[in-house]
Each structure stands twice: as C-alpha cells, then as structure tokens.
Amino acid sequence: MTMITTTEALEAACDALLQHPYVAVDTEFMRETVYWPQLCLIQAAAGETEVIIDPLAEGIDLEPFWELMADERIIKVFHAARQDLEIFFHQGGDALIPHPMFDSQVAAMALGLGDSIAYDALVRTLLNRPIDKGPRFTDWSRRPLSDAQTKYAIADVTHLRDLYPMMVERLEKTGRTEWLAGEMKTLTSPSTYRLDPEESWRRMKLRKTTTKWVASLRAAAAWRETEAQTRDMPRQRVMKDDAIYEIANVAPTAPEQLTGLRAVPKGFERSSAAKRLFDKMSEALADAEAYAPKVEKPAPPPQGVGPTVELLKVFLKLVADEKDVAPRLIANAADLEKIAADDKADVQALTGWRREVFGEPALKLKRGEMALALKDGKVVVVDTKG
C-alpha cells in the first residue's frame, strides 16, 4: 500500500491504475458538522496497485484522480456508491460522475444476497474474510492517520477489487448483467446529485396543499438550503424541520411575525439570516400562484384494490425467492399499488427485465389467467387457463 501526498506521486499512481480494466474506489469523509462533505481520504486498487490518496496533503492537486474517474476506458467499482459520487459530483470539476461504474451493493441485490447488504457482510459471504470495523467512525480529518485507520481504509478497496470479478461472473452466469443497467443509470444521473435550493421542499411532508402554504413552505425550505450551502452547515443546524413548518404557517415578511413561534430560536427575527428569509418570503408571495409548485393530491386507490395489492406482495416474494433476487430491486410497495389499480401503470416493474420476470405474470394474476395456491405448505403458481 502506498500513501499519496504529492501531485507527482498521484500522477504516477493514476497511470498505474489506468493499466487495468477496472479500479476499486472508496472514500472516507466527514459531514457531521458541515453541509458539503469534507473529503478526507480516497482509496483505490487495481491489479497490484493499492493506494491511499490524502486530499488534505498540502499542495496536492487531485486533477489526475478526477481524470482517472472520467476515463471511459476503465470501470469504476464502488460499494453503495451514492455518497462517494455526491462528493465527486461537487468536488471533481464540471459535475464529475464516474462512468462506466459498477456498484457491488446493487449487484448483490441482483444476486439474491439481500436488500442493501453491508460491505462487511458481503465480504464475509463471498470472500470469507473478516473486516475490523473499529476505525470506521474515527476522525478521518486528523493527521497523522493511525496504522489501524490505514489498514481499514485500504482493505475497503482491496476486498472490493477481489469481489468485482467474482460478482461479474455470477451475474453473467445467471444472465443478470443487464439487471444493473437501470440502477446504474440512476446512480450516474446528474439530477441525482444536484442540490437546488428551490427543490429542497421535496424533502418535507406536505401538511397542506393551499397555494399560499405550499409557496411559503418552498420559500422557507429554499432559504434554509441556501443558508446551509453558503455557511457550509447542516440544514438542521440552520433551522429544524419543525421550525420550517411553523414559518410556512406564518409566512413571515417582518420580524414581529416570528415572535412567539416555539420552534424558532429566540432572537432569530433580529438576525441577518432572518432578513434574508423575509426577503425570500416576500419575493415568493408577490406571486404565490406562480411560485408555488403544482402539487396534485394522489388519487385514492380504486375501491376494493387492497386485496389485490396484498396478493401482489405475496407474488413478489414468491418471484424474488424463485429468482434469488432482492424484492426491492424488482418493485416497491408504491409500484404494487399502481399495478393493482392500472394494468398500464408507469412503473419500472412493468418495463424491461422486471416486466419479464414479474410484471407480465403479475398482470396475468390480476386477470385470473393464473392463481396462487398452497401445495405442501408452499405457495405455488397455478395456471387457470387449462
């Protein structure tokens, strides 16, 4: 294992990594007290090359690594990649998202190894290797790093390097390589990582749907997100969700309208941040109709659809067990409700490989062309057409 602390050493390491068809990648970061995650370590392994890159080293330029991540000739292998990709998207320049890529957690779902399997469990299951999780929650920003920290960090990618060909072989043998395509498309979509303050209201539950209230909620949430990004502070430290709801109820444009709100800190109404909130709220309410997002109340499910949903749940479990795949990779509860209500529902479960293994048979089940029955204590499919 090599510790990289200079740009020159990083260039050489990236050249060595690029000589292989794939590279395993992981990061260590801190985000408890900041909005933008602080990248503390980057680990990479390919072939015999195993490196830890120190992004906090004085004078280091990470451009060679970003170029490696952008190189289409090499597959980037991660486990539970979303947080790593979020960091790369915001730090890698030009909204970098590594491509092509492979996520071993998603692949594990396709191979029937469980929903969102933890990395240590995956390594233990496929490689029969234990992982010391002790250093996992240590302070990765402190220097020097301990031996335990560096051993833990590099193990994350050396195991991943060894897992990848094994998982690819299993996927190819079972004809499931393409099953990952949709999930990888979502993971590598820029929209997954854009943090537009004006869209932050979507994190909140809509307690009302009146135009003014929704506009106020959007304005309050956008104000908080902008403050969090500007001040590099977790959004909940700027203002709790309960306070955002109270602010949406009041729609304040002046200090006196904030006094007496239980969830809003005392004295906040006199701060410069409050002034920015009032400005944002005034701007939003100047034309609430135009500013408020269009929120449509979901149509209630057709009467009597409940038993169909329950039947589809049983069938989904049956298919998932039979195919040895995590049910969540095929469909979720919302998908089942939509399929129960509409044979042409716009859900992933009725497209591509999901339609083949589950969606089409589920529609046949709805139409009565097949049924579920108990045989020797097990649920089985019965063809009713004959």
| Alpha-carbon separation of residue 65 from 44, 70, 217, 221 (angstroms) | 10, 9, 40, 35
52 token code pair = 């830890």
Can you tell me the distance from the alpha carbon of 77 to that of 104, in angstroms, rounded to the nearest whole number?
7
Give dist(CA 174, CA 112) in Å, integer.
11
Q: Is the pLDDT confidence value at 134 over 90?
A: no
Task: Give the architecture (CATH level 2) of 7-192.
Answer: 2-Layer Sandwich (3.30)
Q: Residues 96-115: pLDDT tens digits?
A: 999 999 999 999 999 999 88
Q: Which is higher by pLDDT, 121 or 305? A: 121
* pLDDT the model gives residue 178: 86
**Which pairing describes strands 370-375 and 378-383: parallel, antiparallel, or unpaired?**
antiparallel
Q: Is the pLDDT of residue 299 over 70?
A: no
- 236-266 pLDDT per residue, tens: 999 999 999 999 999 999 999 998 899 999 9
For residue 59, pLDDT over 80 is answered with: yes
CA-nearest of 358, 297, 360, 307 to 337 is 307
The pLDDT of residue 386 is 61
Give, to the nearest 10 degrees, the angle between helix 211-231 and helix 241-250: 140
Residue spans of the domains in the chain: they are 7-192, 197-291, 305-383
Q: How many CA atoms lie within 13 A of 183 on its CB side?
A: 25
Nearest C-alpha neighbor of 338 from the set 372, 368, 371, 299: 299
Q: Give the number of C-alpha atoms closer than 13 A to the C-alpha of residue 244, restricted to the C-beta side.
A: 26
Q: What is the pLDDT confidence band of residue 302, given thresholds at 50, 70 and 90?
A: confident
At position 57, the amino acid (one-letter code) is A
pLDDT at 160: 97
pLDDT tier at 51 (50, 70, 90 boundaries)?
Answer: very high
Please tell me if the domain spanning 7-192 has the same topology as the one spanning 305-383: no
Residues of the chain above pLDDT 90, percent: 81
Residue spans of beta strands (DSSP E) within 108-179: none
> Could you tell me the pTM of the whole model?
0.86
Percent of the chain with pLDDT over 70: 99
pLDDT (tens digit per residue) in 157-181? 999 999 999 999 999 999 999 888 8
Q: Which residues contact 307 (CB under 8 A, 6 or more apart)?
A: none
Task: Specify the CATH number of the domain 197-291.
Answer: 1.10.150.80
Residue 372 in 3-state DSSP? strand
Among 1.20.1440, 1.25.40, 1.10.150, 3.30.70, what is the CATH number of 305-383? Answer: 1.10.150
Cα gap 8→10, rounded to integer Å: 5
